[in-house]
Structure 1
Amino acid sequence: MDNNYTIKTKSAPNWIYDWTKSIISVIFVVLIILTFFFRIVNVDGTSMYSTLYDGDKLFVSSFLYTPTDGDIVIISHGQYLDEPIVKRVIATEGQTLKIDFDKQKVYVDGKELNEPYVSSELIPGDAKIPEVIPEGKIFVMGDNRYVSKDSRYVEVGLINVKDVIGKAQFTLFPFNHAKYLY
């Protein structure tokens, strides 16, 4: 009976090559997932208070996403803004929109929106609000309407659907704010 065992060892260059190949593969898969499926985004500012707070970290899904009314979305930029912004979709293409600033009411397709998340007074901006949202565009506002720069203002304006990065699903951090958003 022969009890001889042989142990094969890899040379240092082969071992390094195998590890490098594995690390590059993992990085590639992570980049694909972060590009097409989800992202982690930081909230900067108080325009979505009291739904979201400055410094919150959001889990955002982006795979095959189309904006719908009431969604909290991350937008790559407004008309004259370079930074991403977080806002709530109020109306999408083809919908009629009327904002009654005196009564503090928003109407989409003739129906008053139920907006329990709004935390402040609704004031007019400097942009012309269209009666019907054009094709490929959405109208967005922050929940803290008094301080929010949103589609009511020229700096943001109507948002191209292609500029929507994705839909915020969860607040992940800080832990005392962690919650599902819908």
Structure 2
Amino acid sequence: MNPSESGKRRFGRRDRSERNEPAGKPRSFWRELPVLLLVALLLSFLLQTFIARVYLIPSESMEPTLHGCAGCTGDRIVVEKIGYRFGDPSAGDVIVFLGPDSWSENYKSIRSDNAVLRGLQNIGSVFGVVPPDENDLVKRVIATGGQTVECCDDQGRILVDGKPLDEPYVVNDFPFVPGSLTCQTDVKSGRCFPAVKVPDGNLWMMGDNRNNSADSRFHRGDEYQGTVPVENVRGKAVFIVLPPGRMGKISSPDIQSN
């Protein structure tokens, strides 16, 4: 007997063919694919529900901060959800929120009339592959619960608790001409609106594109005086991800002086 073979038998070391053991077969990719898809969907659900979600800007009310104008490529933004689990929105934050009833009167469902397709769309929405069927809007927080907001001072600035705001992001606004077109002249500036005390737990929201934004100013007659309940907030807009040429952080400056 060959010495090496003798050593194998003595120490119990035999190759697979000697032990008559079948070679292991690699697991089929197609058998693993359903598990991989299930894990991916679960991770997507957890991410979209608790951490962040991507939204498409539906209108030009936030120009030029966010693009959503007719005929242009709308911005897709990342909206993070973690921060507001530990605190409420602050003045200056750009947020996505569900429009209250008076904001959603003209909203039309984006779901199919076909029951089967509609069901698939609703399932897809849960996992973030289809937009939610709700009137999600994006605006900037101007005042929070308990504060009084109005416009304007003698320079055309918005006042919160009597103090003017510093709003460098506003480019397009209604004309305001001291002495001839203000809130005291016979023909008032389009900027003007009377004082509103924001209810506790609510937010006063305005678009950066002031002369083309149907925001809190236009819903003052509803049950919330135009404000939005904090519970309607979906999250804070923090980053533009598409189109590539506009990728970047979304500014949320502190706009209220101390």
Alignment-derived partner of residue 240 in structure 2? 171
CA contact (8 A) 1:56 1:171 kept: yes
1 CA distance for matches of 2:250 and 2:83? 19
Letter in 2 for 1:141: M
* TM-aligned CA deviation for residue 28 of structure 1: 1.0
Paired-residue identity, %:
31
* Counterpart selection for 1:85 from 126, 129, 137: 137
- Pick closer, same or farther for the CA change 1:120–1:102 going to 2, 3 Å: farther
Q: Deviations over 1:11-52 (max 9, x none)?
A: 87xx72x54233212211210111111000111111101111
Residue 211 of structure 2 aligns to a residue whose secondary structure is coil
The 5 A counterparts of 1:37-76 are 37-54=51-68, 55-65=74-84, 66-76=88-98
* TM-aligned CA deviation for residue 141 of structure 1: 0.3
2 CA distance for matches of 1:108 and 1:96? 6
Higher helix residue share: 2
Alignment-derived partner of residue 215 in structure 2? 150
CA contact (8 A) 1:104 1:121 kept: no
- Using the size of structure 1 for normalisation, the TM-score is 0.86
Which is worse superposed, 165-174 or 100-109? 100-109
* TM-aligned CA deviation for residue 177 of structure 1: 1.2
* TM-aligned CA deviation for residue 116 of structure 1: 0.9
CA contact (8 A) 2:150 2:194 kept: no
- Pick closer, same or farther for the CA change 1:173–1:110 going to 2, 3 Å: same
Letter in 2 for 1:8: G
* TM-aligned CA deviation for residue 171 of structure 1: 0.9
2 CA distance for matches of 1:115 and 1:29? 39
Residue 153 of structure 1 aligns to a residue whose secondary structure is helix
Unaligned runs of at least 5 residues, structure 2: 1-7, 9-13, 69-73, 108-134, 175-189, 252-258
Higher strand residue share: 1
2 CA distance for matches of 1:112 and 1:101? 7
Aligned residues: 178
* TM-aligned CA deviation for residue 107 of structure 1: 1.2
Alignment-derived partner of residue 23 in structure 1? 37
Letter in 2 for 1:116: P
Alignment-derived partner of residue 49 in structure 2? 35
Larger radius of gyration: 2
Question: Within the alignment, does 1:9 sit opposite 2:21 as a pair?
Answer: no
Letter in 2 for 1:69: A
CA contact (8 A) 1:101 1:124 kept: no
CA RMSD of aligned residues (A): 2.6
